[in-house]
Structure 1
Amino acid sequence: MGCKLFVFMTNLLVISLVSCNPCSRQQSINITSGDLQDGNSILHGGLVYKTGQWYEVEEDGIVSRFGCPCLESNRVCIRKCCNPRHMYLGYTCKEPPEESLLVFNPKVHKGKDLLNVTASLHFFYLHGLQCDKYLVDPSVDPEVLYIQENGTLLEYSQINDTAQWVAPSEYCVDMMTDDRDSIRMIALICYQNTNHADDSPALYISYAVGLLLSVLFFLATFMVYAFIPELRNLHGMCLMAYCAGLIVAYICLAYLKMHFGEDGEDTMTGCIVIAFIVYYSFQTSFFWLNVMCFDIWRTFSGYRGSTSTKKREMRRFAVYGVYAWGMPALLTACTLSMQYAKLPYWVIKPGFGDRKCWFSNWLSELVYFYPSVLALVICNLVLFTITAHRIRSIRQETAILKGSKSTSKLKQDKQRYSLYLKLFIVMGINWTVELVSFAVGGSNWYWVLLDISNIMLGFFIFIIFVWKKKVRNLARRRYRSIRGLPPITSEFRKSTNVTSTAVTEESRLSSDDAHVRLKDMN
C-alpha cells in the first residue's frame, strides 16, 4: 500500500512539474508577436523574456506565446483597468482627448507617505481584471487609495478609520474624469474571499427559482381578485396593489440572484437600476399592508360614511394610493439623491452597486431601508391591538341586540380582520427572520430554512385570501358565466348567500351597521 502511494505521488509530482507554467494566465501577456532570439529568448515591448519567463499554449490548433513580465526582478507588476493609451471617460474606457493624459503615472507611497518614485518606470502594467469586483471612487466614496512600492494597494476608509491591504493581483487602477470632478485615480477591487461556500451558483439559482414560484402564487391571487367582480371592492383592490408590489420585487430579486457574479459596465448599471426597483417595490408592499391595517381599524372605529358605493370606494382607493405609492416614491427619490449627491465623506450613502447591487454595507441598509419598515410594523401592531379591543367591545354590545343583520355584519368584518391579522403575522415572521439574519450574518446555508419562509410568502397569501370555499365558489361561477354555462343547481340555490357573504367579508361596514354600536341606539 505504501509503495503504491509513493508511486502515485511521484507520478503526480512529475506531471505537475511538466505541465506547470512559470506564471498564471492572469499574470501573463501575449507575446506571440515578439521576436524570437536564439530560440530561447523573446523580445517584446522592450523586455527580453528569457527561458523560464515565457511559455506556449496551443488552443484550437494555434500556438500562442505568453510572457511573465512579473518575474523580472527590476519591475513590479500592477494592473491597469483600461487598455494602453486609454482611461475612464465617465465609466467607459476611451482614448483621452489630450496627449498629456496618455501616460499613466500614479503616485507611489510607503504607507500613506508619498515616495519620489516614477510609477511608469517602476511598475509594469498588466491590463484588465477578471473577477467579481467593486468600484472605489474617492470623489464619491469616503476612501483614499495608496499604491505601495511593492504593488500592494492600501484602501483606507475615512468613515471608520480602517485600512484594507489588497494584493496586486486583486485590483486594478486607472485615471477617470467626468463632470463631477477633475482627473482622479479610481480602483476596481476584487471582492474578498469572505462569502463562505454559500455563494455557490446552485444556491442562488435555487433561491431565484423559489422566488419565481412564489410570484406565480402572487399572480394567481392578483388575477382571482381582478377577474371576479364581487371581489373588486376596496379591500380587493388594496390586496391587488399589495401583491403587485411583491410581484415586481420578487421578479427583480430573482434576476439579481441568477446574474450573481457577473461584471461589466452594462451589468453594473442594470444592477443599480434593479436595486432601486426592488427598494421601491418592497416599500410599496409595506405601505399597502399599512393601508389595509388602517382600513380595518377604521371599519371598527366608527369613522365611516353614510354609504358604501363603488364611487366612494374608488375615491378612497385613490387617496390610499397617493399614500401607499407616493410615500415609497418620496423615499426612493431621497435615497436616489443621496446615492449620487456629492457629500462629505462622513455622510452615510446608500452605496448601490459599490460592493453589491443592494446597499454597500449594513449601516447604509440600517439608515435607508429599515427605519420605514420598522415604523410601519409598529404602526400596524398598534392598529391591530386597538381593533382587537374594539371587536371585543362591539361583541359585548351586540349581545344585547338580537338583530341578525348586525350580528352577521359583525361576524363578516371580524373575518376580514382575521385575514389581515394572518397576513400581518406572516409578514411579521418573514421580516423578523430577515432582521435576525441581517444582525447575525454568517453563511447563507445557516438561514436556508428561514429563507424558505420568505420564498413561501406568495403561497401563504394565496392560501389565506384565495383558497377558501367562498372564493372558490365565486371563481367557479365566474368561469361558468364566461363560458356561457348554466350554474350548478346546488350552487344556484346558495348563490345569493355566497355572494352576499363574500362581498361583505371583503368590504367595510355600510350605513346599516350603525345600530351595532350601543351609543347609536341613544
Structure 2
Amino acid sequence: MNSRVCGCTLLLLSILMAIGVRTNDIPDCDFFDTVNITSSFKAGNGSYRYKNLTVPASLTGEYDYVIQYDGDRISVPKHIRGCVCKLKTCIRFCCPMIKRMKSFGCSKKENSLSYDMTLDIMQDDGSIASKHILTEMFVQEDLPLPCKTHYALDRELSSEDQWTLFEDGKLLRDYDKKNLSKQEYCLQPRMASNITYYDYTIAPYNCVVEPSMVMGYVKSASIICMVITIAVYFWLPRFHSLHGKCCNLYFICLAATFLLNVFSMFDVFRPRSLLCQINGYAGYFAVMATFLWLSVISFDLWRRFALRRFHEFNRNSRSSFLNYNYIVWSTASVLTLGILMIDLFTKFNSANPLTPGVGEYTCWIYTEGWSAMYYFYSPLIILILLNGTMFALTSRYIYVENKRNQQVLNQNERQRKSTNKANYRVYLRLFIIMGGSWCLEIMAFICYMEKVFEEFTTAADLINCSQGMIIFLATFCNCDILRSIHYRIQNRYSTATDSTGSSRNPDSDKFGNSERN
C-alpha cells in the first residue's frame, strides 16, 4: 500500500512539475511576439518596465529556450520574456537598428544610419496608415534570424519585389502571393535605390528559397556516365576518326558544363567571390562550346554527304580537325568575353535584362530574369536552328538524292556510304538527345518566367539533367559497340603484335575509310 502511495505521489509531482514548466511560457502568446526583458526594471506587482512600455506580470514568463527559424528549440539560460506585441503593434528587425543586414548575418560595425522611419501598414479595415516605427510601433531586435541566407525585397528596384505589411505583423510577398509570418522574414535598413533624401530605407529580408537538390544529384549521375562514355571513345579505335574526335570533344564539354553547374547548385563557392565568378564564366564557355561542337558534327556530316565535290577539303581530316578546334574555342571565347565585359562595365540589376549577372546570386549566369534569354538561350536557339537546318539537308541527301544513284554505285562507294551512314546514325541519336532536350529546356525557361505549366518545367529539367545517362544508354545499347568492346578486351594483350603484323584491327578499317574521304 505504501509503495502504491509513493508511486502515485511521484507521478503527481511529475505532472505538477511538467505543468509548472508549461506555465512558465506566456499563455496565448507566440514566441515571436515576445522580447527578452530580463535586464528591465521589475516593479513590486511583478510588471516590467521595458523601453517606455509597462509589461504586466500576466504577459511575462520564464523561458529556457529560443525558437530558431526552422522551428527547432535551442536550450539557453533561463531568462524573462514579455509578450509586448499584445500591447503594441510590433515589427521585427533582423539586427539592432544601427547595424546593416548581410546575406549571412548582421554587420559587426555599428553606424548612425539616416533612414525613413515610417512604414505603410495595411489596417484590418483595408486602409493604409503610415506609422513611425519608434513612436507608434514596437521594434523587436533580439529574435533569431529567419534563416541562414536572405535577400531583400527591394520594391524600388524591382517591380517583382512588391510587398505589403499588415497590422498583425504578417507580410504579403506579391510575386507568389505568400503570407510570411515574423518567423519567415525580418526588416532592416537597406541602402536606398531611388530615394535621395535618405541614405537608407527599411526593406524586408526573406529567406532564399532553397532549390531541390534532386536535379543536382541527377546531373552528378550524368557526369559519371559521361566520363565512362568519354573513356570508351578514347579507348576504341573505331572512334579515332574525325567524327569520333568531334563527338568526344562534345561529350567532354557537356560533362564540364554539368560539373560546373553542379558546383553552382551545391554552393561550392560563395556567391560574388572570385572563384564563384570564374565558375560562372567557365560554365558559360563550356555550354557554348558544347553547342558549337554539336554544330561542327552537323556540318562535318553535311559536307561529307552534300559537299563531295570539295575533295581537298574532305581529304585532309587533320587540317579539318584543327580548323574546327580553332572555330569552336575562339567563338566560345568571344561570347564569354562579351558577357564578361558587360558585367564589368554595367551595374547588375535584376530588373534590367541587359545585365548577365554572372556570380551575383549563384555561380552561374543569372537565369531568374529575361537576361538569360539574351545571353544564354538566344545563342542556343541560333545554334539549334543551324543544326536543324544541316540535319534536314543531310537527311534529304541520304534518303532522297542518294536513293536515285544507288544502283550505279561501285563496291568502294557503297562501303564509304555505309560508313557515313553509320556515323549519321550516331549523330541522329545525338541530335535528338541534345537538340530535343535543350529545346525543352528553352520552353521550360519561358514557362518558368511566365509562371505556367510547372509540371512541364519540372519534367523538362529532369530530361535535360539526364542527358549524360541518356547518351550513355544510346551509346552502349548498341550491339555493334558491345562487340567492339568485347573484341578490344579479348585482344588487349595482343595489340602490339596485331599492329606490327599483317593483320589489322577490324575496328580501324571500319572507320578508317571515313578519315580518307
TM-score, L = length of structure 2: 0.70
Q: How does 1:50-199 map to 2 (within 5 A)?
A: 50-58=56-64, 63-65=77-79, 67-68=81-82, 70-74=84-88, 76-87=89-100, 93-94=106-107, 100-101=112-113, 105-109=116-120, 117-127=131-141, 129-131=145-147, 133-137=150-154, 140-142=157-159, 150=167, 170-177=184-191, 183-185=199-201, 187-190=203-206
The structure-2 alpha-carbon separation of the partners of 1:463 and 1:255, relative to structure 1 and needing over 3 Å to count, comes to same
The structure-2 alpha-carbon separation of the partners of 1:244 and 1:474, relative to structure 1 and needing over 3 Å to count, comes to same
The structure-2 alpha-carbon separation of the partners of 1:120 and 1:257, relative to structure 1 and needing over 3 Å to count, comes to same
Whole-angstrom CA distance in 2 between matches of 1:139 and 1:314: 53
2:121 touches 2:128 (CA, 8 Å); kept in 1?
yes
Amino acid at match of 1:499: S
Q: What is the deviation of 1:500?
A: 1.6
- Is 1:244 matched up with 2:257? no
Q: What is the deviation of 1:324?
A: 5.3
1:242 touches 1:288 (CA, 8 Å); kept in 2?
yes
- Aligned residue number for residue 47 of structure 2: 41
Q: What is the deviation of 1:419?
A: 1.1
1:290 touches 1:380 (CA, 8 Å); kept in 2?
yes
1:81-127 per-position Cα deviation (integer Å, ceiling 9, x unaligned): 333431258998436686x42x665333368x998754333333334
1:110 touches 1:148 (CA, 8 Å); kept in 2?
yes
- Is 1:415 matched up with 2:422? yes
Q: What is the deviation of 1:424?
A: 1.0
Whole-angstrom CA distance in 1 between matches of 2:364 and 2:33: 29
If asked which structure has higher relative contact order (CA below 8 Å, sep 6+), I would say 1
Q: How does 1:394-409 map to 2 (within 5 A)?
A: 394-397=402-405, 399-402=407-410, 404-409=411-416
Whole-angstrom CA distance in 1 between matches of 2:33 and 2:370: 36
Tell me the secondary structure at the aligned position of residue 57 of structure 2.
coil
Q: What is the deviation of 1:236?
A: 3.2
Amino acid at match of 1:457: Q
Structure 1 runs not aligned, ≥5 long: 1-13, 514-522
Q: Which moved more, 1:410-419 or 1:349-358?
A: 349-358
Q: Which moved more, 1:313-322 or 1:45-54?
A: 45-54
1:34 touches 1:43 (CA, 8 Å); kept in 2?
yes
1:273-320 per-position Cα deviation (integer Å, ceiling 9, x unaligned): 766665554343223222211221122232453564564144223223
1:354 touches 1:360 (CA, 8 Å); kept in 2?
no
- Is 1:502 matched up with 2:508? no
Tell me the secondary structure at the aligned position of residue 243 of structure 1.
helix
Amino acid at match of 2:152: L
Whole-angstrom CA distance in 2 between matches of 1:466 and 1:184: 61
2:444 touches 2:461 (CA, 8 Å); kept in 1?
no
1:306-360 per-position Cα deviation (integer Å, ceiling 9, x unaligned): 56456414422322323552355256437746983469x6756567766998756
The structure-2 alpha-carbon separation of the partners of 1:249 and 1:186, relative to structure 1 and needing over 3 Å to count, comes to farther
1:40-96 per-position Cα deviation (integer Å, ceiling 9, x unaligned): 43445554433343333335875422534542533x322323334312589984366
Q: What is the deviation of 1:420?
A: 1.0
1:241 touches 1:288 (CA, 8 Å); kept in 2?
yes
1:18-57 per-position Cα deviation (integer Å, ceiling 9, x unaligned): 6965444444433444455448434455544333433333
Structure 2 runs not aligned, ≥5 long: 1-18, 66-73
1:89 touches 1:178 (CA, 8 Å); kept in 2?
no
- Aligned residue number for residue 373 of structure 1: 380
Whole-angstrom CA distance in 1 between matches of 2:341 and 2:296: 22
Identify which of 221, 224, 249 aligns with 2:229: 221
- Aligned residue number for residue 296 of structure 2: 291
Whole-angstrom CA distance in 1 between matches of 2:428 and 2:441: 20
1:214-248 per-position Cα deviation (integer Å, ceiling 9, x unaligned): 11111111222335566344333332332233323
Tell me the secondary structure at the aligned position of residue 120 of structure 1.
coil
The structure-2 alpha-carbon separation of the partners of 1:350 and 1:413, relative to structure 1 and needing over 3 Å to count, comes to same
- Aligned residue number for residue 393 of structure 1: 401
- Aligned residue number for residue 516 of structure 1: none
Q: Which moved more, 1:54-63 or 1:179-188?
A: 179-188
1:81 touches 1:172 (CA, 8 Å); kept in 2?
yes
1:490-522 per-position Cα deviation (integer Å, ceiling 9, x unaligned): xx99743321213445x5xx3xx4xxxxxxxxx
Q: How does 1:451-466 map to 2 (within 5 A)?
A: 452-465=462-475
1:69 touches 1:77 (CA, 8 Å); kept in 2?
no
Amino acid at match of 1:50: P
Tell me the secondary structure at the aligned position of residue 134 of structure 2.
helix
Tell me the secondary structure at the aligned position of residue 387 of structure 1.
helix
Q: Which moved more, 1:420-429 or 1:439-448?
A: 439-448
User: Across the two proteins, how many residue pairs are aligned to each other?
Assistant: 473
1:171 touches 1:187 (CA, 8 Å); kept in 2?
no
Tell me the secondary structure at the aligned position of residue 340 of structure 1.
coil
Whole-angstrom CA distance in 2 between matches of 1:275 and 1:81: 31
Whole-angstrom CA distance in 2 between matches of 1:363 and 1:312: 40
2:353 touches 2:371 (CA, 8 Å); kept in 1?
no
The structure-2 alpha-carbon separation of the partners of 1:331 and 1:381, relative to structure 1 and needing over 3 Å to count, comes to farther
2:153 touches 2:205 (CA, 8 Å); kept in 1?
yes
1:32 touches 1:66 (CA, 8 Å); kept in 2?
yes
Q: How does 1:338-487 map to 2 (within 5 A)?
A: 340-341=347-348, 359=366, 361=368, 363-391=370-398, 392-397=400-405, 399-402=407-410, 404-435=411-442, 437-438=444-445, 439=447, 452-465=462-475, 468=478, 471=481
Whole-angstrom CA distance in 1 between matches of 2:432 and 2:91: 54
The structure-2 alpha-carbon separation of the partners of 1:23 and 1:107, relative to structure 1 and needing over 3 Å to count, comes to same
2:25 touches 2:62 (CA, 8 Å); kept in 1?
no
- Is 1:316 matched up with 2:323? yes
Tell me the secondary structure at the aligned position of residue 98 of structure 2.
coil
Whole-angstrom CA distance in 2 between matches of 1:465 and 1:18: 68
2:236 touches 2:485 (CA, 8 Å); kept in 1?
yes
- Aligned residue number for residue 287 of structure 2: 282
The structure-2 alpha-carbon separation of the partners of 1:208 and 1:54, relative to structure 1 and needing over 3 Å to count, comes to farther
Whole-angstrom CA distance in 1 between matches of 2:270 and 2:301: 45
TM-score, L = length of structure 1: 0.70
Tell me the secondary structure at the aligned position of residue 305 of structure 1.
helix
Whole-angstrom CA distance in 1 between matches of 2:405 and 2:186: 74
Q: What is the deviation of 1:464?
A: 3.4
Please give the root-mean-square deviation of Cα atoms over the aligned residues, in Å: 5.1
Whole-angstrom CA distance in 1 between matches of 2:59 and 2:172: 29
Whole-angstrom CA distance in 1 between matches of 2:502 and 2:63: 82
2:24 touches 2:61 (CA, 8 Å); kept in 1?
no
